Structures are given as structure tokens and as C-alpha cells.
Amino acid sequence: MVKGAAWMTLLMITNRVIGLISTIILARLLLPDDFGIVVMCSSVVGGLAIFTAFGFDIALIQKQDATRSHYDTAWTFKVLLGILVATCIALAAYPTSLFYREPRVILPMIVLGLAFLLQSFENIRVVDFRKNLEFDKEAILRVSQKVVGFCTAIPLAYYLRSYWALIIGSFVFSLTNVILSYVLRPYKPRFTFSEKKSIFGFSSWLLLTNLLSYTRDTLSDFVIGRTAGAKSLGLLSVARELSSAPSMMMIASVNRAVYPGYAKMADRRQELKETYSRVISTIALIALPMGVGIASVSDQLVFVVLGEGWRDAGPVMKILALYGVLSALNSNIAYVFNAVGKPKLTTYMGFYQTGLMLPIMLILAWKFGILGAAWAFLITSSLTLPFVMGAARKLLQINLVQYVSFLLRPLGSSLLMYASVIMLENVFTGRISEFQLLALSVSLGVAVYLSSLLLFVLAFGSKTSTERVIYEQYVRPKLPRLGAHR
């Protein structure tokens, strides 16, 4: 399972890189205002779409003996809910324009509603890619979508110089997904309601969880869009994409890959505990240096990658990069809850996070704008981590000392990296170009992180720690060869 997760992660990184490159190029071609218009539309579309988010795929993966009737029932409800929600999106277009005081959102929302309707016809059997650990097919489907979307949106943005490039790109993305889902997994679904009780018994909890997640993630969009306008909303959206999304999306690929394995060992708690421990250690190794590294170079990164017009996103990115680290660490426990058949625990965690987020976001975002919104995300994630540790202790008997031990070595190495980069910036700022400073900072950061991590592993790492296993299997065997070539 771990090998499959690593392979899946590598391919999903490719997927994420395409998305980031697309965002960077589009940010160069378009204005923050264009991104803001799309986020205004997406915030409402996502809110209505959440009522289709019953998590039928999660239910089918968790149910190891699912029959054709289960799959067809799930597909039937997806299509019917898609028709209902697409209609609601079209009806909501004009009221949305009144709320944001932005008439440009009406027609794009209608197009996004059509894209959502199209997406609901996706082949339900693609769930088998994850359920049967067929990560190659899952990766082909997701990467192909990104490639087609990229090849559509970039030329349109260059030609139109308008938010319509993003809207049309979303529609083409949905069309590609539906077509490829049936090409990669031939299947003829049938309309049926025969297993509705079985499907909804598990999925109703996931709907509530997804609704809570949507509230947390998009509350800032409504507050900033209403009070500060499309430009500020665009700045916040792209800052989130470039700061927290890299670590979160890489970790999302790990979560998608390990969940089927969790489900298979749900009755073997000691094995599940050991696997979860390795996964959290892996997440820490990836997310901590990435988030802390982005925070250390956020100002240079914004100027070099996006340009002068996006300068105000730099301080926001610094905060959101740290939020991405905490979100990555918090995310995996929900897959354990679902795997052992307790999705209500995920919902309880959602209530806890949303209860924290609502007052913090409303106060900080309303008063301090996009910087306040960024702080609200970070504070909420920080206060969620103790909840996750407590859940891991109760469900898997992982105590506080064990959990902290997963984080210490990558955290220590990341802090040394941050300090080194900041000192470098203090010395060279104003003496060399920002591009040169960014290149030097990244090079130094990578070198400091890897070397300090290696020293920590050799000095303090147990033989079973994830870092030590990686060192023994992949690094140490190459050391004699490196010496032989000198």
C-alpha cells in the first residue's frame, strides 16, 4: 500500500505541477479582478453543489462487497442531484450578482452550472481505481483532465484576456473527465434505487461533513467579495493556490492512495495504527519543509512568479503557507474515521472546526481584509491539531509523545531552513535581483533542510522511523558509490 501511495503521489505531483504552472501563466495574462469574478461564481456554485456531495465514492470503497446495484444506485442519485443543482445554479445567478454588486457573474454562473450537470454523468465505476489500488488508471484520468484544461485555458487567456478563459476551461475540464471515465473503465450504468438505504446510510454523514468543510473554506470568499470586491478576492484566491495548495494537494494524493488500504485493515487496529503512523510521518516530511519554505520566500516568489501587480499577495502567502502545513497534518485522520465505518467522527471534527472558524473569520476578515482572512485560516487549523491528536489517541492508542515524535525531526530541519533563508535575505536584499535572491534562497533552503534532516535522523531517529527507513533503503546504499566516483 505504501509503495502504491508513493507512486500515486509522484503522478499526482505531476498533476499539481500542471495546475500551478497554469495558475502562474494565467495570473500573468489576467488581472486579480478576473480571478475574483470566477471565485464569486465558484463560491455560490460550490455551495449549491455541496448538496450532491454525499461521498458515494467513499461509501462504495468502504463497502468491500458492493454489487452492481450499489454502483448503479449511486450513479442514479448523482445524475438526478446534478440536474437539480444545475437548475438551482442558473436560478441563483441573478441574486448572486445583487449580493456581490457585480453583474458580470450572471452568464459565467450559468455556464458553470452546465459544466456541473455534465460532471454528474461521470462513470461511477472509476471508484474501482482507488478501491482496487489501480493507481495508474486513476492518475491517467486526473492528469489528462489537467492537461486538456491547461491546453484550453492558456490560449484562450492569451486571446481573450478575460475571466472567460477560466470559465470555458472549467467546462472543457468537465467534458474531458466524463469522456475519459468511460474510456478507461467501460461501463453502462442503469437507473435504479434498489440500494438507496445502504448507500445513504453511510453517505448522509459525509454530506454534512462536506457542508461544514465548504462553510469553512468559502466563508472568506463571501466576506471579502462583499466588502472588498473582486480584486481583493482574486488576490486571496491566488495566494491560497500558490501557498497552501502545493502541500495540501500533494498530501491529498497520499490520502486518496492510502484510504483503500485503511479500509482493508479496519479490523486490524494494530496494523492500522502502524500504517497511520508512517503516513503522518511522510506527510510531515513533505508538508513542513514545503510550507515553511514558501513562507520564507513569499515576497520574492510573488514578484518573480506573478509580477508587480500581485505584490499585495506576498504577506498573505506567508500566513497561508503555514496554514497549509497544519491542514495537511489534520487531514488524514478523517480517512481513518471513514475506513473504520465511523464517518460521524469526521462530522464532529467538522463541527468543531466550523464553530471555531465562523467567529474568527467574520471578525478578522471583516476588519482586516485578506490579511485577516489568512490569519483566521491559520488560527483555526492550529486549534484543530489538538483535536486530531486526541482522536488518534482514543482510536489508535497513539499518545501525545508518539504523535509529536512524528513531527520533531522535519520540524527542526524546517526551522533551521527558515532561519538560514531569512539571514540570507537580510544580507542580499537590494544587492542582487529578486530572481537571483529567490534562486539562492531556494537552493540554500533545500540544502539546509536535507542536511539537517540527515543529521537528526542519524543522531535521534529510531530504526523504524520513516526518515530512517528512507535513509537505509535509498540513501545509504548510494553513499559507497558516490565515494567510488571521486
CA distance 335 to 332: 6
String of b and e for 7-39 (b: at least 16 CB within 10 Å)?
A: ebbebbeebbebbbebbbebbebbbbbbbbbbb
CA dihedral (415, 419, 421, 422) in degrees, to 10, reads 130
> Which three cell numbers mark 413?
530541519
The structure's pTM equals: 0.74
Query: In the chain, what are the domain boundaries?
Result: 2-398
Give which of 182, 115, 107 is closest to 149, Cα–Cα.
115
Per-residue pLDDT of the chain (486 residues; tens, 9 = 90+): 444 455 555 566 676 677 778 888 888 888 889 999 999 998 888 888 777 665 667 667 666 677 788 888 888 888 998 899 999 999 999 999 999 989 999 999 999 999 999 988 988 888 877 667 676 677 777 778 778 888 898 999 999 989 999 999 989 988 988 998 898 888 888 888 777 766 665 556 666 777 777 777 788 888 888 888 888 888 888 888 888 765 666 677 677 677 777 877 878 888 888 888 888 888 888 889 999 999 999 988 888 888 888 888 889 999 999 998 888 888 888 888 877 777 778 888 888 888 888 899 989 988 899 999 999 999 999 999 888 888 888 888 888 888 888 888 899 999 999 999 999 999 988 888 888 999 999 999 999 999 998 888 877 766 556 666 666 665 666 655 544 444
